[in-house]
Amino acid sequence: MMEPLIILKLLHVVGAAVILGTGAGIAFFMVMADRSGDTRTVAHVAGTVVVADFVFTASAVLLQPVTGLLLARESGYPLDQGWILVSVALYLLVGACWLPVVWIQIRLRRIARKAAAEGTPLPPRYRRLYRLWFCLGFPAFAGVVAIIWLMLAKPDFAGSL
């Protein structure tokens, strides 16, 4: 029988992997679809990306704070430790990037579907939103990597915070 602490760790690590992996996969496929220049491909991939973000990323995003809080409690880590506070701050930064990204993906999907149905190229509005989506991905991805590092290294920030 697995210990509750091991189950919590497993859920937390899997959640982090899902957030990182889904984010990287979504970015890759969206960039490749955009580079294809084919409006129908963009419309299809954007639709898949929206579903993946809701099914996988959103589920993991909801799971992480719950498992993180339970892990800290079960492992005896005070919530005011520097690495935990920095992780929470980064988590909020990532969320501040991810929420607009989801909204942008829905808009990109709508614009691409309309252009595909009308047989027209993607309009300048799509390009502007796509650039914003692309730019928001960098701090979000870097934040997730930094959070995973903090989870593993648990650095002592006692003298610096």
Report the predicted TM-score, pTM, of the whole model to 2 decimal places.
Answer: 0.90
The string of pLDDT tens digits covering residues 8-45 is 999 999 999 999 999 999 999 999 999 999 999 999 99
- pLDDT above 80 for 84: yes
Note the pLDDT of residue 158.
66
The token pair at 159 is 């003298």
Note the pLDDT of residue 160.
52
Note the pLDDT of residue 157.
80
Tell me the mean pLDDT in the region 147-153.
Answer: 96
Distances (CA, A) of 91 to 25, 95, 143: 19, 6, 7
Note the pLDDT of residue 2.
76
Q: Is 154 helix (H, G, I), strand (E, B) or coil?
A: coil
Q: Which residues contact 22 (CB under 8 A, 6 or more apart)?
A: 52, 53, 56, 57, 60
The string of pLDDT tens digits covering residues 117-137 is 999 999 999 999 999 999 999
